[in-house]
Amino acid sequence: MATYKNIKGSRVRVESADPSPVDTGDIWYNSSNNDLRFNAAGEFWTETTDVNVGRINPGGCGETAEAAMYWSGQPSPYTVDCEIWNGTAWAETGNVGTARFAIGTGIGTTSAALFGGGGTGPQPQGVGLSEEWNGTAWSEGNNMITPRVLLAGFGTQTAGVNAGGYNSCIAYPSDLGYTEEYNGTSWSEGSDLNTVRRSAASAIISTSTAGMIFGGTGFIGGAKNECEQWNGSAWSEVADISVARGEAAGVGTQALAAMAGGNPGYMTTTETWNGSAWASGNPLNTGRIEMSSAGSATAGLAVTGNTGSPSTVGSLLMEEYAAGSSVRITSSTASS
């Protein structure tokens, strides 16, 4: 069998940073991150470094596959713990102020994050509480207008958008189409979604004037395949996803996005968005729902979540998505 040295004429090279340019099939060891990587054609999910504590339905965000965080979540009792990813390892960091789960998508970056809503009771009871992260600690911000769980978000800490969700009021529970915008200080009402839903995925690094959400579920119609884009003032429907589902992970922007996993069942299905249509992508290695996500459609993460084995304990798994770029093979010391 031909070896890498037979093909390339040398053993695996060691680099202090990912080299550029590289050819398809090139392999190198990144000594700064302790990663063995190769340059792939196409798109792949690769299992990589585990989180410290698995969660179900946590909040989470992150600007790249090298910078992500997630917080709170179940199982009960809901936790205040938060973990942050630096591209090499997960580390525990500052706790959120109020433990909760069913938060939905977080907003922002690992140095300036935002989230609102989530549940604190057994139903769970939705709250309007919002919190901001400054890179070191969480602090309480002004409340959202409508308490809710399982919402979808995108944007930044000073220009964020939350949409959809579920009003878990015991007397009158309902799915929601409400949109709220955050200006760094307070929340204001925006135009409603065309399709009410909860547990939708979002293009998580979208801006507050060019956002997108897709999928979700609801009392009426079950799993959703509708995809909607936000232009800063209104929602418009665009091409549907191929496989209707909720509780999936979303990465990317309005122009280039991907979604993976979801419910019904514990899907591995991945779809990619090129700005006008959805196409099938390579599946997750482990099907799951109710996870966190971060990054772009060419370098994204699916973090922790519920794999159904068992369904009451959060998974430790993280998978990294790479499209036409370097794929992490391992985070252990590599031989040449």
3-state secondary structure of 106: coil
Q: Is the pLDDT of residue 41 over 80?
A: no
Average pLDDT, the chain: 91
pLDDT of residue 336: 41
Q: Convert the pLDDT of each residue in 216-273 to its tens digit.
A: 999 989 999 999 999 999 999 999 999 999 999 999 999 999 999 999 999 999 999 9
Q: Is the pLDDT of residue 332 over 70?
A: no
Q: How confident is the model at residue 324 (pLDDT cuts 50, 70, 90)?
A: low
Question: What is the pTM assigned to this prediction?
Answer: 0.86
SS3 content of the chain, % helix, strand, coil (to 5): 0, 40, 60
CATH of 51-316, one of 3.40.1440.10, 2.60.40.3080, 3.20.20.150, 2.120.10.80: 2.120.10.80
| Nearest one of 105, 104, 103, 112 to 137, comparing CA atoms | 112
Domain ranges, ordered by start, for the chain: 51-316
Q: What is the mean pLDDT of residues 9-38?
A: 78
Q: How confident is the model at residue 88 (pLDDT cuts 50, 70, 90)?
A: very high
Q: Convert the pLDDT of each residue in 291-308 to its tens digit.
A: 999 999 999 999 999 999
Residues 6 or more apart in contact with residue 225 via CB below 8 angstroms: 215, 240, 241, 242, 243, 244, 245
Residues 6 or more apart in contact with residue 220 via CB below 8 angstroms: 175, 196
